Amino acid sequence: MLKLSCLSIGIPEELLLKLKSCRPYEFTFSASANDVQEGELLLEKLIVQSVLIYSENQDEKVLRFIDFLKALPSRPIVAIITLDKRNYEEYAHITFTTKEPAPDIASKILRLPIERRETIEIATSKEKLLDERLANIFISAGIPPHIKGYQFLREAVKQAVTDPSMINNITKMLYPAVAKRFNTSPSKVERAIRHAIEVAWSRGKIENINNIYGIKIFSRGDKPTNGELIALVSDKILIECS
């Protein structure tokens, strides 16, 4: 049986049930969202191989969401179900009309080149390992995962790992990239990350980052800047991956 993990966006319940029961295909729906805004929030926590979106007409919000999906490190397959697939053909990996039966939709998505699916699976695995590594670093440093700065800091490091040149232009490149990912402003990203570092510093745990290097980089009285911490952690990740 061929399997594909999927996030559904705005899919009508009747069609969703048909897709879930397609055989010999198996769509494992990790989650369902009512709209693209909710879908973007879900993708902060989920890694999926495919995103299936229902949109009756060409929608600017959907187009921006597709750009967001294509920028993700895991790069999920983007599939659109619409009244007129010509509206989205140049944006999505694959499009369908509302008249196409569920088994055809399932088979066409799974008929994409095998190397495409293998790339997604490898990227998904790497993404998960990176998220786990960053979680260990930031939690040990005293940055609580429930604050916004934690999420922004993690994304900033991931962006810097993907494109190391960003570390040299944090204000004009890195903060805007993180802000776009979370649909917020660069100034809010900067403040939230700074707050996260202040929380870690006030807890006296920021020096725990010394443990990942084995040398003393921070002492109890040292509070790193946003750029220093992002550069330090991203550089460590790059060294580990090389």
* Average pLDDT of the residues in 174-202: 90
Q: Give the tens place of pLDDT for each residue, 110-167.
A: 777 544 444 444 444 566 677 788 888 888 888 888 888 998 998 999 888 888 888 8
Higher pLDDT, 221 or 43: 43
Instruction: Please report the pLDDT score of residue 118 as a whole number.
Output: 46
Q: Give the tens place of pLDDT for each residue, 29-60.
A: 888 899 998 988 888 777 788 899 999 888 88
Q: Does one domain contain both 138 and 179?
A: yes
Phi, psi of 241 (to 5 degrees): -85, -10
Tell which of 90, 112, 134 closes a domain. 112
Q: Tell me, yes or no, if the pTM score tops 0.85.
A: no
- Tell me, what DSSP letter sits at residue 171? I
Q: Does one domain contain both 132 and 229?
A: yes
Q: Does one domain contain both 237 and 125?
A: yes
Chain-centroid distance of CA 7 in Å reads: 13
CATH number of the structural domain spanning residue 206: 1.10.10.10
Instruction: Please report the pLDDT score of residue 58 as a whole number.
Output: 81
Q: Does one domain contain both 67 and 23?
A: yes
Least Cα distance to 234 among 159, 148, 143, 149 occurs for 159
Q: Does one domain contain both 128 and 234?
A: yes
Q: Does one domain contain both 217 and 178?
A: yes
Tell which of 58, 87, 112 closes a domain. 112
Q: Does one domain contain both 127 and 235?
A: yes
pLDDT at residue 92 is higher than 60: yes
Q: Does one domain contain both 125 and 108?
A: no
| Segments forming the whole domain that contains residue 198 | 121-241
For the chain, the domain total comes to: 2
pLDDT at residue 1 is higher than 60: no
DSSP characters over 28-64: EEEEEESSHHHHHHHTTT---SEEEEE-SS--HHHHH
Q: Does one domain contain both 84 and 149?
A: no
Q: Does one domain contain both 130 and 215?
A: yes
CATH number of the structural domain spanning residue 97: 3.40.50.2300
Strands 2-9 and 94-97: unpaired
Q: Does one domain contain both 144 and 58?
A: no
Tell which of 61, 85, 112 closes a domain. 112
Instruction: Please report the pLDDT score of residue 121 as a whole number.
Output: 47
Alpha helices in 141-185 (DSSP H): 148-162, 175-182
Tell me the angle at which helices 175-182 and 148-162 cross, rounded to the nearest 10 degrees: 120
CA distance 176 to 69: 17
Using the structure block, give the residue that is written with the tokens 């191989």.
49
Q: Does one domain contain both 217 and 154?
A: yes
